Amino acid sequence: MFSRSTRQWASGSMLRSPVRAAFRRAASTTTPVPVPPTPPPIPSSTTPVVKKKRIGFFRLTWRLTWLSLLGSAAYLTYEVYKEVNPSPQIPQSPLKPNGNRRKTVVILGSGWGAVSTLKHLDTSLYNVVVVSPRNYFLFTPLLPSVPTGTIDLKSIIDPVRTIAKSTPGEVKYLEAEATDIDIAKKQLTIQHSSYSATSGVHHVTIGGDEAKPIVATIDYDYLVFAIGAQTATFGIPGIEKYAYYLKETADAARIRRSLFETIEASQLLPKDSEERKRLLSVVVCGGGPTGVELAAEIKDYIDEDLSRFVPGIETEMSVTLVEALPNVLNAFNHKLIEYTESIFEKQQLDLRVNTMVKKVDDKNVYATVKKSGGDTENVTIPYGTLVWATGNGPRPLTKAVAAQIEEQKTARRGLLIGEHLLVDGTDSVFALGDCTFTKNPPTAQVAHQEGIYLASHLAKLSKVDDLKYLIAQNTDPEQLVRLQRRLDRAQASIQPFKYTHQGALAYIGSERAVADLVWGDWSNVSTGGSLTFLFWRSAYVSMMLGVRTKILVVSDWIKVKVFGRDCSKE
């Protein structure tokens, strides 16, 4: 009876449809309510906690140590390879690549000054000839350690040819002794000679009815005069005949032989014998670093090693250090001098200062002691072994050179040189080291710095000479202007030599050393003791020229630490 639409309206479906649609539209446009994040689960006692790994201090130190050792080993391997396999050298020739004449530089000597010049010189710029009767460089600061066996003699020797082979240009070496120099002709006369540890200097001769030494002459453009000095005896009677020196390798061998000859001879005499006491007395004259270090080394040897082989000898054998000045190590800080004297007192090393040697015979040293009041007293010091380690004097060749030059007439203790190390009165002879007389001390440190300077100076002279040659060969005005400017700059770069004192080191026994160091112009460091002893060793190793000698010296120290020094005569 009702229609379909009427029934839907009556049931309310038609009324509800618009409302539902409105709610749907509202729901679709309404911003959703944010849902809070789910909290992380609380770890139970059975759930493992992952922690960030940390490297411990000791583990980090261990790793850094290993890395340092590996790096040092790699660097050492590289240095050894480089020393054993040097680069090819440029051969000597009469002309340079630019057509200019290649000049000849003759280096006379194989000590600190000569070898420093050779090592730092660009040998491709010159025809370089080295002349020396000694075909090796001797590291003299460690020579006092040789007579006692602390260091083997071969460990402090670098062959001249090995040093020359490491330079960029070919170097000729002649084992010979210079007998005469003609300054006017720029000519050097040489004679072959060699050293023998047992018989001294002898000459190799040519066979025949009348054997004659091998003599030759060399022309030079520049002469590097670096023959060093000889030990000065100051005219004291008996020194030259009875005392041993400490300047060459043969000297160290003689001192060691004398020590053991007197020790073995003393064993045949009664213990209360005066002759036995004399034989077991070692006297070292000279309170500089060489004398102090030798006396300290011998005292260590007696107390630490000989006492094991000859029981009781440490109480019988004595070491006396004699110095004419009021102090030993006179160039050091006064506190270090006092420290050295206190160490000597603990070691029972007999130190005698203000004691001037007047005469020596085959058994005694006769000296005069200056007392505090000004009075003097004559003393007699018996000895079995006497070492003279003080004073330098000019060699005969140095005197012969000075006699040829008017400007050298007043030279008594060595050649007089200018600010560029050029010998006064010459234009082609450079002198350096102990053969000269300057305001600088006659030490290895001075000669080393002079050699470095001279190598640089010779390189600058070569550049100036090349520019002058190019100017003489050139005709282009613009080129000439540029070359002249370069020449002016090259000449202006030539500066005088200036010595920079870096300090001094000395070993004083019982694994102690003193160091008086200078750091530039603003700081001085004076120290002594066991840590200074380690610095003394490391400083000397770093100063050595070759990797081979550095390794050998360190090996010798390790060997002595483990096995001790031996008691053989040789």
81-229+394-492 has CATH 3.50.50.100 classification: yes
Tokens (6 digits) for 204: 């190799």
Instruction: Let me know: does 175 contact 135? Beta carbons within 8 Å.
Output: yes
Question: Whole-angstrom Cα distance, residue 173 to residue 185?
Answer: 22
In this structure, the number of other CB atoms found within 10 A of the CB of residue 471 comes to 14
Which pLDDT does position 107 carry in this prediction? 98
Domains 81-229+394-492 and 239-392+502-563 share a fold: yes
User: Which residues, other chains included, contact 112 with Cβ-Cβ below 8 Å and sequence gap of 6+?
Assistant: 140, 433, 444, 447, 448, 451
The number of helices, as runs of H, and strands, as runs of E, in the chain is: 17, 26
Tokens (6 digits) for 505: 């080191």
Instruction: Let me know: does 408 contact 388? Beta carbons within 8 Å.
Output: no
Whose structure tokens read 């001249």? Answer: 160
In the chain, how long is the greatest CA-to-CA distance? Answer: 171
Domain 239-392+502-563: CATH class, spelled out: alpha beta
Alpha helices in 85-197 (DSSP H): 112-120, 160-165
Instruction: Let me know: does 136 contact 157? Beta carbons within 8 Å.
Output: yes
How open is the CA angle 5-9-12, to the nearest 5 degrees? Answer: 140
**Residue ranges with strand state E in 294-410:** 318-322, 350-352, 355-360, 364-370, 376-382, 385-388, 392-393
Distance in angstroms between the alpha carbons of the first and the last residue of the chain: 148
Which pLDDT does position 200 carry in this prediction? 43
Query: Torsions phi, psi of 435, nearest 5?
Result: -80, 0
pTM reported for the whole predicted model: 0.84
Give the percent of the chain with pLDDT over 70.
Answer: 86
Helix (H, G, I), strand (E, B) or coil at 99: coil
Q: Where are the domains of the chain?
A: 81-229+394-492, 239-392+502-563
How do the pLDDT tens digits run along the chain, 570 residues long? 444 444 444 444 444 455 455 545 555 554 555 556 666 655 555 555 555 555 677 788 888 888 888 888 888 788 888 888 888 999 999 999 999 999 999 999 999 999 999 999 999 999 999 999 999 999 999 999 999 999 999 999 999 999 999 999 999 999 999 999 999 999 999 998 654 333 344 445 555 545 567 889 999 999 999 999 999 999 999 999 999 999 999 999 999 999 999 999 999 999 989 999 999 999 999 999 999 999 999 999 999 999 999 999 999 999 999 999 999 999 899 999 999 999 999 999 999 999 999 999 999 999 999 988 888 999 999 999 999 999 899 999 999 999 999 999 888 889 999 999 999 999 999 999 999 999 999 899 999 999 999 999 999 999 999 999 999 998 899 999 999 999 999 999 999 999 999 999 999 999 999 999 887 655 578 899 999 999 999 999 999 999 999 999 999 999 999 999 988 887
Helix (H, G, I), strand (E, B) or coil at 141: helix
